[in-house]
């Protein structure tokens, strides 16, 4: 079994686009950077940290390992309606802290599970806007 196949078998898969958020919260709160990274496609793009872009599952894993070292706690956020078009879906949540919005594009995998392709964890309002 290849490393990629092992990682896929090791973690619960998102059966719906909305499940990814639950799995993200559970894995982040457990300090599991490998588990968080497994929610992303190999070549996923994440707009984080603010003002930067992190590309690829390995880089996303490294980023989350650093973030999770500080022991942050995440709370589930209620999802906004998911938009689905074939094998793509747009998921989003309004952050509890009122800091804007979060949005992700997810793709259905050949086995029917879903993984993140694009992740915009923070949309901040432009300066001077209400």
The residue that leads in pLDDT, 107 or 101, is: 107
The count of residues in the chain is 130
Contact criterion met (CB below 8 Å) for 60 and 54: yes
**Across the chain, what does the average pLDDT equal?**
87
With respect to residue 5, please indicate whether it lies within any of the assigned structural domains.
Answer: no
The CATH number that applies at residue 83 is 3.10.450.50
With respect to residue 130, please indicate whether it lies within any of the assigned structural domains.
Answer: no
Local structure of 60: helix, strand or coil: helix
- Residues 18-75 have pLDDT tens digits of 999 999 999 999 999 999 999 999 999 999 988 899 999 999 999 999 999 999 999 8
With respect to residue 6, please indicate whether it lies within any of the assigned structural domains.
Answer: no
The residue that leads in pLDDT, 122 or 16, is: 16
Q: In whole angstroms, give the CA distance from residue 130 to residue 5.
A: 47
C-alpha distance from residue 5 to each of 1, 8, 16, 68, 102 (Å): 6, 5, 20, 24, 29
Cα-Cα end-to-end distance for the chain: 52
């Amino acid at each position: 079994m290849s490393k990629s196949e092992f990682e896929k078998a090791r973690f619960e898969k998102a059966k719906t686009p909305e499940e990814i958020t639950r799995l993200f919260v559970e894995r982040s709160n457990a300090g599991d950077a490998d588990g968080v990274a497994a929610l992303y496609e190999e070549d996923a793009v994440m707009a984080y940290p603010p003002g930067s872009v992190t590309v690829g599952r390995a880089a996303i894993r490294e980023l989350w390992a650093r973030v999770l070292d500080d022991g942050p706690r995440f709370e589930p956020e209620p999802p906004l309606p998911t938009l689905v078009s074939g094998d793509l879906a747009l998921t989003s949540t309004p952050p509890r802290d009122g800091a804007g919005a979060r949005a992700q594009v997810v793709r259905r995998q050949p086995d029917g599970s879903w993984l993140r392709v694009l992740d915009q964890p923070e949309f901040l309002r432009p300066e001077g806007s209400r």
